[in-house]
Amino acid sequence: MTKKKADVIKKTPKKDIVKADPKAAPVAAAEEDETLRVERLRKVLVQKREHILKESKKEIKKQVSGENRQFVETVLDDGDLAVVDVAEDINLKQLTAQRQMLIKIDAALTKLREGSYGICEECGCEIEEGRLKVMPFAICCRDCQELIEVRDKIEAQRD
C-alpha cells in the first residue's frame, strides 16, 4: 500500500491560540484618555487656584501695608473719603469672591481625587467637557444650571 504525501505528514496537536480581546484595546485607550483628561483638568484647577491666591495675597498686602491709608491722609474732602470707602468695599468684595472661588476649586479637586468630578449634582449626568474647560469648578451641567438660575430668579422676585 502506497502512502500518500498527506498521510506522511505528522499531525501536530492543536495549540490553544489566545486571541486578543478586540474590546480590550479600546478600553485601555479610553482609560488612558480619561487619565490624561483628569490630569489636564487637575492642572487647570491648580493653576486657577494659584492665580487667585497670588491676586488675593497682593490685595491683602496692599491693605496691610497701608497704601489705602496713605491715600486717605492726602484726601481733601468728604467726597474723596467716599471714593476711598467705595474702593475698600470693592476690594473686600473681590477678596470674598476670590475666597468663594477657592472653596469651589478645592471642592472640585477633592471630587477629582474621589472620581466624582464632572458629574452633575442635580441630574447625575456627565458635565460637558467644554463647560469644564471654561468653568472647571462647575458642579452642574448647563441645563441644570440654567434651571437653577431661573428658579433663583423667580424666588428673588418673590422676596
**Alpha carbons within 13 A on the beta-carbon side of 123:** 12
Q: Using the structure block, give the residue that is written with the C-alpha cell 491715600.
A: 71
2 compared with 142, residue with greater pLDDT: 142
Q: Which residues neighbour 137 within 8 Å (Cβ) at sequence distance 6 or greater?
A: 45, 48, 101, 104, 105, 107, 108
44-91 pLDDT per residue, tens: 999 999 999 999 888 888 777 766 555 555 655 666 667 666 777 788
Q: Is 131 exposed, middle or buried (0-12, 13-18, 19+ CB in 10 A)?
A: middle
Q: Which residues neighbour 145 within 8 Å (Cβ) at sequence distance 6 or greater?
A: 138
Whether 15 shows a pLDDT value over 70: the answer reads no
- Distance of alpha carbon 88 from the chain centroid: 31
* Res 30: pLDDT: 66
Q: What is the DSSP letter of 136?
A: T
- How many angstroms separate the Cα of 62 from the Cα of each of 33, 70, 74, 75, 80? 44, 11, 17, 18, 19
* Res 80: pLDDT: 62
* Res 36: pLDDT: 87
Q: Where are the domains of the chain?
A: 28-117, 120-159
Strand partners, 119: 126
Buried b / exposed e across 143-152, counting CB within 10 Å, b at 16+?
ebbeeeeeee
* Res 126: pLDDT: 94
Whether 37 shows a pLDDT value over 60: the answer reads yes
95-142 pLDDT per residue, tens: 999 999 999 999 999 999 999 999 999 999 999 989 988 898 999 999
107-120 pLDDT per residue, tens: 999 999 999 999 99
